[in-house]
Amino acid sequence: MRVLVTGGAGFIGSNVTKLLYNKGYEIYVYDNFSTGYINNLNSLNGLKIIKGDIRDKESLESAIKGCEFVFHLAAHIGNVKSLENPVEDSEINVLGTLNVLECSRINKVKKIVYSSSAAIFGEPHYQPIDEKHPQNPDSPYGVSKLAAEKHCMCYNRIYDIDIVCLRYFNVYGVNQRYDAYGNVIPIFATLLLQDKPIKIYDDGEQTRDFVNVKDIAKANLMAAEKQELSGVFNIGSGKSITINSLANMMKNIINKDAEIIYSPPRKGEIRHSKADISLARDSFGFNPSDNVYENLLEYIHWLKECWER
């Protein structure tokens, strides 16, 4: 079966592509390589890679022709980047997603799996965060991801296309680079490997729900393969850990007794975040792995190899 992965050369997209490849799908990757890397796809022989932009409807439409599923991950990413360029953020995340929806509708795509984000929630009012939690995003990025979700669900209601929106919490794992929008795990790993101190904002007792990218890839596959599934689902590990515990675990894995420097809290940072994943579990069997230590170990090995190449 032929499928299209937009943003397939990126961190998460390349992991989704790899899983689909191993399952025998015929995959077309559609990516403008603005933040994606061809190296992420090197081991996958026979993959069809199209260099294109989701804002270019004509090119996108010819790429989608003949595909049964579309996994839509291409995006302008991150709260900080969206504050610097909110117009481009919406052009890619909202209008680009509308192009994906329109081209899919015209070409009778059976299912779209859209990568959304926990950034759509803004400041949490309660934990764990379920799908019904109020949605008041605090950045243009969060707004654009929410607007795209709304377009997805509107297309689902008015046209005969199954559409699943997966709201990821804090994703980490192989193919995630240091330049990835200030994500804490690549930053800590890089600093530790360079024998540098780690900087923690606030007292380090803030919590996050870190979910491994292999679980994200599985969620995409399961959501696509579950017949007649549509809707919006939170995708995290369902557990949260403090930034202090994360730092200590990583110090332990890398075997470095780095100094931790505490800095005042950053404006706009939420204190706690934990996903309620029961809807995804009950609807399509999502069951994330429980081995943070092994997943971090795998990631650190990959990062070291990456530098040695």
Under rule CB under 6 A, which residues in 149-178 are in contact with ligand NAD? 168, 170-171
Residue 159 Cβ, how far from ligand NAD at the closest point, in Å? 22
Catalytic residue among 25, 28, 30, 141: 141
Counting contacts by CB under 6 A, is residue 277 touching ligand NAD?
A: no
- Both structure tokens of 19: 């899983």
Q: Give the count of beta carbons closer than 10 Å to the beta carbon of residue 277.
A: 27
Site residues (CB under 6 A) for ligand NAD, limited to 102-141: 115, 117
Q: Which of 12, 129, 143, 217 binds ligand NAD (CB under 6 A)?
A: 12
Give the number of C-alpha atoms closer than 13 A to the C-alpha of residue 226, restricted to the C-beta side: 19
Query: Which C-beta is closer to ligand NAD: that of 76 or that of 111?
Result: 76
For residue 128, whether the previous peptide bond is cis, meaning omega lies within 30 degrees of 0, is yes
DSSP 268: T
In DSSP notation, 121-155 reads: T-S-SSSSB-TTS----SSHHHHHHHHHHHHHHHH
Structure tokens at 231: 């809707």
What values do phi and psi take at 133, rounded to 5? -55, 140
* 25: annotated active-site residue: no
Q: In the bound complex, what is the minimum distance in angstroms from residue 231's beta carbon to ligand NAD?
A: 17
| Single residue of 3, 31, 100, 212 touching ligand NAD by CB under 6 A | 31
Q: Work out how close the CB of 208 gets to ligand NAD at its nearest, in angstroms, rounded to a whole number.
A: 10
- Look at the block and give the residue holding tokens 């675990």: 249
Which of 11/286 has CB closer to ligand NAD?
11
Any contact of residue 100 with ligand NAD (CB under 6 A)? no
* Interface residue with ligand NAD, options 96, 128, 140, 238 (CB under 6 A): 96
Tell me: does residue 288 bind ligand NAD (CB under 6 A).
no
Stretch that binds ligand NAD, among 27-35, 202-210, 251-259, 298-306 (CB under 6 A): 27-35
* Strands (E) located in the chain: 2-6, 26-31, 48-51, 69-72, 111-117, 162-168, 170-172, 198-201, 207-208, 210-212, 231-235, 241-242, 260-263
**Piece of the chain touching ligand NAD by CB under 6 A; list 6-14, 223-231, 236-244, 260-268:** 6-14
Q: How far is the CB of 71 from ligand NAD (least distance, A)?
A: 10
99 binds ligand NAD (CB under 6 A): no
Considering only 1, 22, 33, 48, the residue that binds ligand NAD (CB under 6 A) is 33
Distance of CA 211 to the CA centre of its chain: 10
Going from the C-alpha of 102 to that of each of 29, 74, 161, 203, 236, the distances in angstroms are 18, 16, 11, 47, 29
Asked whether position 9 contacts ligand NAD by CB under 6 A, the answer is: yes
Among 53, 89, 162, 215, binds ligand NAD (CB under 6 A): 53
Structure tokens at 34: 């603005």
Closest to 43 (Cα-Cα) out of 63, 22, 73: 22
Active site residues: 141
Name the site residues for ligand NAD (rule: CB under 6 A).
6-7, 9-13, 31-36, 53-55, 73-77, 92, 96, 115, 117, 145, 168, 170-171
